[in-house]
């Protein structure tokens, strides 16, 4: 596979949330992730990591001159999407205490499957208040919602609750991001709040996938819409695949 032209590499990398959220993550892995954020084609939008590693990532990125342009993200209510709002709020508060600029929150998607939209809405609203002043991305776990109707409903709940981004997936479920779910989410944004951002995550490993999601967003919301402020791609192995397409390990988030 050939390397993409530099302008395309720069564009994709600029919207990338470089991610490591594995149970066996350690300091060495996070330091290596931070080192990857310095590329010949610019830096990613953010690093998304477990909150205990946020201070380490801040030091590494600062030493490399990559702060604050590379933002620090962590997760809440992750990966299960439980229905306990107090737990989710505590997760957010802990992430902010450790220096997070952004929080990716898992919506309690099982509540939607059970017909309880109010529970999902209340949890996201409580977390929006807890994350006041910070970027809140709401993960719908679209692959588990099983229908376009529920994906659309979850998108509306997140938008109405004040999410800054809606995000497809945790990357931990059996079904990750799909073009169909992304299409439903983006059309819902276009209709109700094009100022809210979109993040595709989970299973995005190939440059062609990244290009497809960028094209999809641009075709629905306009060619100027997909910027790092409104469009992200969550991935771990994609960056290496972009820069060294013949050497990268295609496994990962």
Q: Which residues are catalytic?
A: 104, 167, 199
Q: Could you tell me which residues come within 8 angstroms of residue 125 by beta carbon, excluding any fewer than 6 positions away? A: 161, 162
Bridge-based pairing of strands 16-20 and 46-49 is parallel
CB burial of 173-184 (b: ≥16 within 10 Å; e: otherwise) equals bebbbbeebbbb
Give yes or no for a contact between 45 and 70, defined as CB atoms under 8 angstroms apart: yes
The angle subtended at Cα 181 by Cα 21 and Cα 19, nearest 5°, is: 15
Cis omega (within 30 of 0) for bond into 109: no
Collapse the DSSP code of 85 into the 3-class scheme (helix H, G, I; strand E, B; otherwise coil) and give the result.
Answer: helix
Residues 6+ apart with CB under 8 A from 80: 106
Residue 139's nearest CA partner among 79, 94, 179, 213 is 79
**Which among 139, 246, 250 is positioned nearest to 204, based on CA atoms?**
250
**Euclidean distance between the first and the last CA atom of the chain, given in angstroms as a whole number:** 21
Q: Is the peptide bond before 79 cis (omega within 30 degrees of 0)?
A: yes
């Amino acid at each position: 596979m050939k390397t993409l032209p530099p302008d395309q590499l720069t564009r994709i990398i600029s919207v990338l949330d470089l991610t490591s959220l594995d149970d066996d993550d350690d300091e060495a892995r996070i330091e290596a992730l931070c080192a990857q954020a310095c590329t010949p084609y610019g830096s990613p939008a953010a690093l998304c990591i477990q909150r205990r590693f946020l201070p380490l990532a801040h030091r590494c990125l600062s030493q490399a001159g990559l702060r604050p342009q590379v933002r620090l993200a962590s997760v809440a209510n992750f990966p299960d999407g439980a229905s306990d709002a107090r737990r989710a709020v505590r997760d957010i508060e802990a992430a902010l205490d450790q220096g997070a600029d952004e929080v990716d929150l898992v919506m309690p998607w099982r509540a939607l499957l059970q017909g309880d939209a109010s529970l999902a809405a209340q949890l996201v609203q409580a977390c929006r208040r807890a994350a006041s002043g910070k970027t809140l991305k709401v993960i719908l776990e679209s692959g588990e919602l099983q229908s376009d109707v529920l994906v659309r409903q979850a998108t509306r709940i997140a938008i109405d609750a004040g999410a800054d981004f809606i995000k497809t997936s945790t990357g931990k479920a059996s079904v990750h991001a799909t073009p169909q779910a992304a299409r439903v989410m983006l059309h819902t944004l276009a209709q109700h709040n094009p100022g809210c951002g979109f993040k595709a995550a989970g299973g995005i490993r190939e440059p062609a996938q990244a290009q497809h999601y960028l094209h999809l967003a641009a075709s629905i919301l306009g060619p100027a819409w997909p910027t790092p402020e409104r469009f992200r791609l969550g991935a771990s192995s994609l960056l290496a695949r972009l820069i060294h397409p013949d050497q990268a390990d295609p496994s990962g988030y």
